[in-house]
Amino acid sequence: MGEIAEYFKREKYITRRLSLLILGGPALLVPLVIASAHGHIPPSGLAGAMVAYIAFIGFAIGAILRDARSKYPNPEAPARGPLNPATRRNLQRRIWSLEFLVALYALVLLYELLQIGRDPWSLILTGLVVNFLFQAALIKAVLRLKRKLKTATSAATSMET
């Protein structure tokens, strides 16, 4: 149970920090876009600010993940004990939400494929690559969580017998 509890702690730690980044972005970029629309900032300045913001986000995400890994390290040996009902529900809920996101990204992928003749190739190709990367990460997370749930379930059944 320790491994799964640590997973949820690490997820909560990362989610809170990423939420602050997501909320901070519009607070910084919207005034810049408005100032650029009114002619106070040249378009090249706005483009430079957006590139700097994207670079900052990349470094911030790397720092958040590094801090989460150091604060909540993966346990040496996987948990072999049974799960309590609340943890099992949380794990199943997480799996279902990730599976829903996989299905949603599959629908977005179909929409992107329908747009191939209408939009520039660079935009479509970028969207397809990002979609495939998100789907790969989500599928990997679903498989990892299902494996943890299966291990915990088999541990619970072996303890009962």
Average pLDDT over every residue of 48-61: 86
CB 128 within 8 A of CB 112: yes
What is the pLDDT at residue 161? 59
Residue 99 has what pLDDT?
Answer: 92
Angle at Cα 73 formed by Cα 63 and Cα 144, nearest 5°? 95
Report whether pLDDT(38) > 80: yes
Q: Over pLDDT 70: what percentage of the chain?
A: 85
Res 78: pLDDT: 54
Evaluate if residue 110 carries a pLDDT over 90: no
Contact of 117 with 91, CB cutoff 8 Å: no
Banded pLDDT at 77 (limits 50, 70, 90):
low
Please tell me which residue, 116 or 145, carries the higher pLDDT value. Answer: 145
- Domain coordinates in residue numbering, the chain: 1-79, 81-161
Residue 96 pLDDT exceeds 90: yes
| C-alpha distance from residue 137 to each of 25, 51, 59, 143 (Å) | 23, 25, 19, 10
Given this model, what pLDDT does residue 82 score? Answer: 67
The two structure tokens encoding residue 78:
């996987």
Say what the pTM is: 0.59
SS3 41: coil
